[in-house]
Chains A and B, each alone.
Chain A
Amino acid sequence: MAEIKLNNLTKRWGDFIGVDDQSLHIKDREFLVLLGPSGCGKTTTMRMIAGLEEPTAGEIWIGDRMVNDDLPKDRDVAMVFQNYGLYPHMTIFDNIAYPLKVRGTDKSEIRPRVEKAAEQVELTEFLHRKPKALSGGQRQRVALARAIVRTPKVFLMDEPLSNLDAKLRVTMRAELKHLSRALQITTVYVTHDQIEAMTLADRVAVMKNGIIQQLGTPDDIYNNPANLFVAGFIGSPAMNLINGSVTDGMFVTTGGTRLVPVKSPDREKAILGVRADDMHVHEAGQGDIDVTIYAFENTGESTLLTVQWGKQRVIARGDRHLRKDQDDVVGISLNQDHLYLFDPETEDRIEM
């Protein structure tokens, strides 16, 4: 049980900046997700917490101890790797028991603890097998069991679900969430999958180019994106970003369509952000604007309409029973309570 504090943490390789002077305070028992595209510094940040990477500058605190100079083994963390990092020459039992054995845990104590961990991840019947004889999902569970067999101060998980197939990923995600609620241990979780971030996190830190773009609850990140990057990264499909300007309190697209009223002083350039769910689809002539359908997709639980809007394409989500075809004309209206305005120069959100 511990909080983690990163103070002005920096990692550079020559001229390349992995993590750029970032500070982050992870609360005790919090599930924090580091989210971002590949190369954004999220894994580097985690590896520095684990002690597998040495920071160029800055401090790492776990609990009330600065761990910069501690070896990984002395930091009392447990980590789940993307490729599981199992020991192929050991049985599942020995894999799970390894953290206990190497730390000199009493022999009589090892068996019950390994069995308990194996039970928590439903591996009991595989304990005598070697990792080679297990499926991907089972190997992932071994990695998890190895992490929870001890009670570390901190869990670190590096894209633990990314090697699993889509269906298994959803199941394991729920199991992870259940497990983390039960264990109540501070967790840092790295992923590029925004759904994992939204579903698992207490708080999400969205990273790009070594800099944390926004830190907040999943709700916060989704409903109040701090800048263009976060707005475009979170949500599926991604938020529609429409170029235009603000004139006389109205957002006007580059094509000259006066679209919606916005509470913002006039500005020459602005980007309007609106999620697919906040674009309502009507019959032609009944919305704010008529558009032509570029592509119509039926996902089963809803329909997605990619529509040509001047030179841009935007995506609207329609009712699951809606049936349209390519080149049909539909009306679109925007939910004016959920519009976002961004400054194209600074990429920051403009409050309105």
Chain B
Amino acid sequence: MTGKQKKQIFGAIQTALILIAMFIMLVPIIWIFLAAFKSHVDVYQLKLFFTPTLENFSVVFDDPYRLGEKLLNSTIVAFVTILFAIPIATLAAYSFSRFSMRGETLMLVTILATQFVPAVVIILPFFVMFRDIGLLDTRLGLILVNLAIVMPFAIWMIKGFIDGIPMDTEEAAMVDGSSRLQVIRNIVLPMAAPGLLTSAIFCFIIAWNEFLFALILTNKDAVTLPIGLGLFKGEEGDLWNLLSAAGIIIMAPMFVLALMIRKYFVQGMTMGAVR
């Protein structure tokens, strides 16, 4: 066998492996995508050819499911979360990046460590606490919880981006006549903008997909989309066609956002690794 042939065979094996892996990963998504446009009867037959219908999408928004309310809840919770998380995290990250504080490393590690606590462990205290102060089943309650979840990610990610801004640039701005706040506004924010956008989208995705806390802490008014999926149970069993339609509504914005940040996301993760 010549070297060229060897290369071709390896190339073919590589492609085949990638296709198999892709197939395994994509099958559920393809299945959901197809099911969303099928009628209830068609779902249980693995037909690839069927008469597509948009009916599922209108049913899920009608009584008794009223997915619209859940969509609104999810949207408000996720947006308000990043609306607060990003500015606060930016200021925290700037301080961590630029000032040396007593116990700085400890603080940074502690912030990250909150992520290592399993959610199930702290969910009951949250439930009791929220019940006592009347935050159960409110969007505000969910926003607070989501803030606690996304802040550590946001701080660490944004810190990475701010670390990448050369100190010279900031010092030049200070000597040129800027106050510290002007430096942040005129120099740091514009330079870190791609990073801030990435972090915002990242946090949005986390908040949007958050399931466990929303499951325990809401029951009627503040139910979000992922919990809403549980509604699609009928006498005839799981209503897979409706579930799939709702699933697509949940996934669609994520696909768009993931595409937007793909480039920056990898950059953000590897930033500072090579210098």
Contacts and interface: CB of A to CB of B under 8 A. Distances in A.
B132 interface: no
Nearest to B190: A89
B114 interface: no
B171 to A, nearest CB: 5
Contacts of B219: none
Interface in B133-168: 166, 168
Contacts of B110: none
B192 to A, nearest CB: 10
Contact of A83 (B166, B176, B186, B187): B166
Given A51-B174, A72-B174, A78-B176, 14 more contacts: A73-B175, A73-B177, A73-B178, A75-B175, A82-B168, A84-B168, A85-B169, A86-B172, A87-B186, A89-B191, A102-B182, A102-B186, A103-B177, A156-B175
Q: Which of B175, B177, B179 has the most CB of A within 10 A?
A: B175
Interface in B213-242: none
Interface string B176-220: 111100100011001100000000000000000000000000000
Contacts of A79: 171-172, 175
Nearest to B170: A85
Contacts of B112: none
Interface of A: 50-52, 71-73, 75, 77-79, 81-89, 98-99, 102-103, 143, 146, 156
A72 B173 CA distance: 9
B175 A72 contact: yes
Contact of B171 (A78, A81, A89, A103): A81
A32 B115 CA distance: 55
Nearest to B169: A85
B173 A98 contact: yes
B176 A98 contact: yes
Given A83-B166, A99-B177, A146-B176, A52 B171 contact: yes
B176 A99 contact: yes
B176 A102 contact: yes
A203 to B, nearest CB: 23
Given A71-B179, A73-B179, A88-B191, A81 B172 contact: yes
A77 B169 contact: no
A71 B174 CA distance: 8
B215 to A, nearest CB: 43
B98 to A, nearest CB: 12
Contacts of B168: 81-85
A177 to B, nearest CB: 23
Contact of A52 (B174, B179, B182, B186): B174
7 contacts: A52-B171, A72-B174, A73-B178, A79-B171, A83-B168, A87-B173, A98-B186
B175 A78 contact: yes
Contacts of B175: 50-52, 72-73, 75, 77-79, 156
B58 to A, nearest CB: 46
A143 B178 CA distance: 16
B158 to A, nearest CB: 17
Contacts of A88: 169, 191
A37 B225 CA distance: 64
Contacts of A51: 174-175
A84 B173 CA distance: 11
A87 B174 contact: no
A75 to B, nearest CB: 8
B264 to A, nearest CB: 16
A7 to B, nearest CB: 22
A99 to B, nearest CB: 4
Contacts of B177: 73, 99, 102-103
A146 B168 CA distance: 14
